[in-house]
Structure 1
């Protein structure tokens, strides 16, 4: 069994720059050997949940600008898995979750940057899934529950986003994490570990500094999706936490 995972993916530069987070990802990838990966990425938004059903290998999408040339030379040609995509679709259909299949879209940096650090050989089949940022938190969690049991098949479910993700709050000169960002992450971890779902779903009104931490929810909802996919009897574990530029959170949780 491989526990679902939420990871903060931060800047695309983590593909080429070593950090505490990239060290964690590399170590984690050495410990687990999934048969396949299902990844919810903050950088693919769709009102109807979209499931990649790519035959052959994925193209690598460079959905960013102004970065060093070396980033645009990276390729992550992971194989797709139409069969697993079909099974994911069947689970969504059984749960009444509208969905569609996408046979062309490549892996965006919310996926390939994380995966290239975890599984650099790019030899594990991947199914990428979009997010709808503006569904209620409870619905995000419910979408995740449709994937419960995949962990028992050694399919690694990943939510790739960030808990604290506010470009306006970043401070390139910061030499320590901002207390307000730590307080938000502390609140989240406590609610998740205690399975206080009612409070978690109301994080926008109850969590300290929620508006500063989550000015737009596209990077936050992969957390709820990954959490929802976990065995209800499991206990969440904080497996990594670091910060960049004061408040950009690289919190990672295993469920």
Structure 2
């Protein structure tokens, strides 16, 4: 059995940097050997949950601007799997979740910046799945729950995002962590580890500094999806750090 992961992807610069976090990802990849990878990425938002469905090599998307030329030369030549995409679609439909398939979109940086450190050889099939930020937390968890038996098939589910993600408040020169960012994560951790789903459903009103930590829900949604996909509700923090004052690198194994 392979447990789902929520992983922070931070800045696109992570793709060309060597850091404590990228070393952590590399070691994590060595410890997990999945048959395939399913990534819910915060950088693909759609009204209807959309599943990549190709068997060829994905294009590498550079869905950002203003970064060094070196970053735009990176390729992550992973292949897809249309058969697994169809399996995922059928599981979601069986749970009453509307979906569609996509045969054109490449891998966005929410996916490839993480995967190139986890599995640099790009030799494991990847399915990328969009998120719908307008759905409630309860509905996000239900999406994950529809796929929880994939863990038994040695398929790795990854939610790629950040629990605290507010680019207007990042401090490029800071070596300290803003207390409000830590307080928001502390609240999340407590509710996740006590299985207090009712509080999580209402995090926007209940969690301290929620509007600062997640002014938009996109980078937080993958956390709720991977929480829902947990086969036995045994959450475990596998990494925690902060950069740029308040950008959270909290990572969970579910």
The answer, yes or no, to whether TM exceeds 0.5 is yes
Quick check: 1:251 aligned with 2:240? no
Gaps of 5+ in 1: none
CA–CA separation in structure 1 for the residues paired with 2:21 and 2:205: 29
Could you list the per-position Cα deviations for residues 165-213 of structure 1 after superposition, in whole angstroms to 9, with x for gaps in the alignment? 0011111121121111011111111111111100011111111110000
Correspondence list, 1:11-50, <5 A: 11-50=11-50
Gaps of 5+ in 2: none
Contact 1:50 1:130 in 2 (8 A): yes
2:121 corresponds in structure 1 to 121
Quick check: 1:222 aligned with 2:227? no
CA–CA separation in structure 2 for the residues paired with 1:175 and 1:93: 46
- Note the C-alpha offset of 1:144: 0.9
1:191 corresponds in structure 2 to 191
CA–CA separation in structure 2 for the residues paired with 1:68 and 1:202: 40
Correspondence list, 1:101-180, <5 A: 101-180=101-180
CA–CA separation in structure 2 for the residues paired with 1:8 and 1:206: 23
- Note the C-alpha offset of 1:8: 1.0
CA–CA separation in structure 1 for the residues paired with 2:21 and 2:192: 21
The number of aligned residues is: 254
Which secondary structure state, in structure 2, belongs to the residue aligned with residue 100 of structure 1?
A: strand
In the TM superposition, structure 1's runs of 4+ consecutive aligned residues that sit over 4 Å from their partners are none
RMSD: 0.7
